[in-house]
Amino acid sequence: MIVDMPATSTSQVSKKLVQLREQGGVLALGRVLTLVVVTDDTTSTENAIESANAASRQHPCRVIVLVRGARQAAARLDAQIRVGGDAGASEVIVLRGYGPQASAEAGASMAVPMLLPDAPVVAWWPNTAPAVPAHDPVGQLTHRRITDAAAEKHPLRALEQRASNYVPGDSDLAWTRLTLWRALLAAALDQPPYEDVTSADVDGEADSPSTDLLAGWLASRLPVPVKRTKIGAAGGVHSVRLNRPSGPIELIRPDAKIGSLTQPGQPQRRVTLQRRSLSDCLSEELRRLEPDEVYAEALAGMARVRRGRVPSGSRR
């Protein structure tokens, strides 16, 4: 069910929510967190809501979407409440503010009465994020702040900003997209021969923040030189090579879909390594609400990564 409430106020929205609960039963009672989505008024807003709904199937939550409408307009708040089939396992409250109500301060204060009591609050900026998310008025309400460097206009600059402004509780989807890569690499090192890695090369698209983060992560975990190159032209992360005395472990994904893992003395193994869907990434983010220290170290590790055109082994 979708209830539209044009030119309304937050207290009316709150009232309507209580009324809907009384009519519909247990809405909002089993919810484990509040997800605040902050977007501009664009076509991608609906996309973000859909991903949040899909993620809510694992983490029943209340989704508050703060849409920043036109600044040059009269003050006005349009609200929309979606429950039941239109909202997955969540309930969605869209608050679209215009004029002064489109500001971050107003957005935060509109979200306050809608937050679930006693439950964690997560903020998500699907597009442009504030420079220091933790200092943003909405960010200050939350335990966890999710940004997406890859969705920004200047992905690498955004990532550098994240690194220099990191506050515990920050997270970025560029990091989430790496989980499977990291797991495969770690699993490869679980197997014999248990040799030390002597150096590592990470290659990927020039403005792929995930590639930089992956290199940063390796640099933070391994006390060896890590090099970041830009040979792969498209498709995010292209390849990772961990050099060891007996030969390198290589995980290569030439077509952004299927990866292949090669190790000395073993047949090449192929593995699906598709870019993960937004809802998939968001589900993973919502699973853990404590600060991600490994991510913080990966951000810090980026400073140790050397950049170059050719990998250190320079086979090409």
Partner 1 sequence: MTALASDPRSNPLRDPRDKRMPRIAGPSGLVIFGVTGDLSRRKLMPAVYDLANRGLLPPGFALTGFARRDWTGEDFGQVVYQAVREHSRTPFRQTVWDRLAEGFRFVAGSFEDDAAFDRLAETVDELDRVRGTDGNHAFYLSIPPAAFPIVCKQLARSGLAGQDQPDQWRRVVIEKPFGHNLASARELNAIVNDVFPEESVFRIDHYLGKETVQNILALRFANQLFEPIWNANYVDHVQITMAEDIGLGGRAGYYDGIGAARDVIQNHLLQLLAFTAMEEPVSFSPAKLRAEKIKVLSATKLALPLDQTTARGQYTAGWQGNEWVIGLKEEKGFNPDSRTETYAAITCAIDTRRWAGVPFYLRTGKRLGRRVTEIAIVFKRAPHLPFDSTMTEELGQNALVIRVQPDEGVTIRFGSKVPGSAMEVRDVTMDFGYGLSFTEDSPEAYERLILDMLLGEPSLFPVDEEVELSWRILDPVLERWAAEGEPEPYPAGGWGPPSGDAVLARSGRVWRRP
Chain residues in the site for partner 1 (CB under 8 A): 26, 29-30, 56-58, 60, 89, 176, 179-180, 182-187, 189-192, 194, 197, 218, 221-222, 257-261, 263, 266-267, 269-272, 274, 283-284, 287-288, 292-294
Q: What is the rounded distance in angstroms from the CA atom of residue 247 to the CA atom of residue 263? A: 7
Shortest CB 21 distance to partner 1, Å: 14
Half-sphere exposure of 50 (CA within 13 A, CB side): 7
What the block records as the tokens of 208 is 């792929």
Shortest CB 61 distance to partner 1, Å: 9
Report the residue number, 71 or 288, with the smaller CB distance to partner 1: 288
DSSP class of residue 16 equals H
Shortest CB 293 distance to partner 1, Å: 5
Largest CA distance in the chain: 69
Shortest CB 77 distance to partner 1, Å: 29
Shortest CB 248 distance to partner 1, Å: 15
68-98 burial, b at 16+ Cβ within 10 Å, e below that, comes to bbeeeeeebbbbbbbbeeebbebbbbbbbbb
What the block records as the tokens of 247 is 């030969």
Report the residue number, 31 or 228, with the smaller CB distance to partner 1: 31
Shortest CB 288 distance to partner 1, Å: 6
- Return the amino acid letter for 162: R
Report the residue number, 5 or 89, with the smaller CB distance to partner 1: 89
Report the chain's C-alpha Rg in angstroms.
22
Strands (E), 14-120: 33-40, 61-68, 76-82, 91-98
Shortest CB 180 distance to partner 1, Å: 5
Shortest CB 219 distance to partner 1, Å: 12
DSSP class of residue 210 equals H
Report the residue number, 293 or 314, with the smaller CB distance to partner 1: 293
Q: What is the rounded distance in angstroms from the CA atom of residue 30 to the CA atom of residue 26? A: 8
Report the residue number, 113 or 264, with the smaller CB distance to partner 1: 264
Report the residue number, 212 or 284, with the smaller CB distance to partner 1: 284
The residue assigned the tokens 């609960």 is 21
Q: How far is CA 247 from CA 193, 197, 265, in A?
A: 11, 10, 9
Instruction: Return the sign of the alpha-carbon dihedral for residues 187, 226, 296, 133.
Output: negative
Give the pairing type, strands 269-272 and 306-307.
Answer: unpaired
Residues facing residue 37 across a β-bridge: 65, 124
Report the residue number, 153 or 223, with the smaller CB distance to partner 1: 223
Report the residue number, 85 or 267, with the smaller CB distance to partner 1: 267
Q: What is the rounded distance in angstroms from the CA atom of residue 32 to the CA atom of residue 118? A: 9
